Structure 1
Amino acid sequence: MTTDPTARAEFIAGLRRLAAFLADNPKVPVPDYGADISVHVDGTDAQQRAAIDRIADLIGAPTSEGLHYTTARDFGPINYRAVAVWEQTSRDWDALMSYHGTVSV
């Protein structure tokens, strides 16, 4: 996640190039149900919550809490989503994946 002006300009230019390409090439398929652009925040749970709250204010959207803390805004079929993964959820995932490949049925 960044607000660096150069990175933002490159990202936005890439989105515009993609949109122009798709508009100019109608035989190229697009997703039936839209697409998500996800921004993942880092830090402690408190830092992540603060970041998501700030983004929610910036995009004028509510937050939602569960295994993740999120905010999102729809732009037609395109969804902008900011996601925080709680530290415990991340630890649980890491523990689960530590068994990957060691157990076979």
Structure 2
Amino acid sequence: MTDAVQDGTEWVPRFGMLEVPRERAELIRGLFELAAFVADHPELPLPFVTAGVYPNAESFEDEAVTVDLVAEALGVVADMNVSRGHYAAMKNFGSVRVTAMAVTQEADAAFAAHMSYRGNVQPAEGVAAGESR
């Protein structure tokens, strides 16, 4: 496809010049580069592609407002998974999934507590993961 290196704002395939902020142009270019990579390497397995919008607002309610805006733009309805503490909207574009998610403070704290053990628990020497003694 193309190996030319550019700063991300002046080149977007098919669309030509776009008047968008640099961050958006870089994302659009990255998506096109991924598509080119997939096209150029048919011998490799297809990648799993997901894009997430995770608002970082003052409160869960403010984050949920952003999720609702994304849901409306995607043409879907956001819903609350009470047991997981997630309010999310999701849509697939072919095999590409876009998700917008707000997480309650309680769910975020529970995840942080769970992950605080990461790296601190080690299997007994000579025992591979998943094996029993």
2:98 to 72, 75, 80: 80
Q: How many Å apart are 1:103 and its aligned residue?
A: 9.3
Which stretches in structure 1 are left out of the alignment for 5+ residues? none
1:40 aligns with 2:54: yes
> Compared with structure 1, are the counterparts of its residues 99 and 29 closer, same or farther at alpha carbon in structure 2 (3 Å cutoff)?
closer
Q: Secondary structure at the match of 2:89?
A: strand
TM-score (norm 2): 0.65
Number of matched residues?
100
Q: 1:14 Cα deviation (Å)?
A: 0.7
Runs of 4+ in 1 over 4 A off after TM superposition: 102-105
> What is the 5 A alignment of 1:82-101?
82-100=100-118, 101=120
Please give the per-residue CA displacement for 1:27-78, whole angstroms capped at 9, x wherever unaligned.
12214xx432112111211111111011111111111211211111111111
Partner of residue 33, structure 2? 17
Consecutive unaligned residues of structure 2, counting only runs of 5 or more, are: 1-19, 125-133
More strand by percentage? 1
- TM-score in terms of structure 1 length: 0.81
CA distance in structure 2 between the aligned counterparts of 1:14 and 1:26, rounded to whole angstroms: 19
Instruction: Identify if the C-alpha distance between structure 1 residues 97 and 24 changes in structure 2 by more than 3 Å, giving closer, same or farther.
Output: closer
The structure, 1 or 2, with the larger RCO (C-alpha pairs under 8 Å, 6+ apart) is 1
| Aligned partner (choices 50, 53, 60) of residue 75 of structure 2 | 60
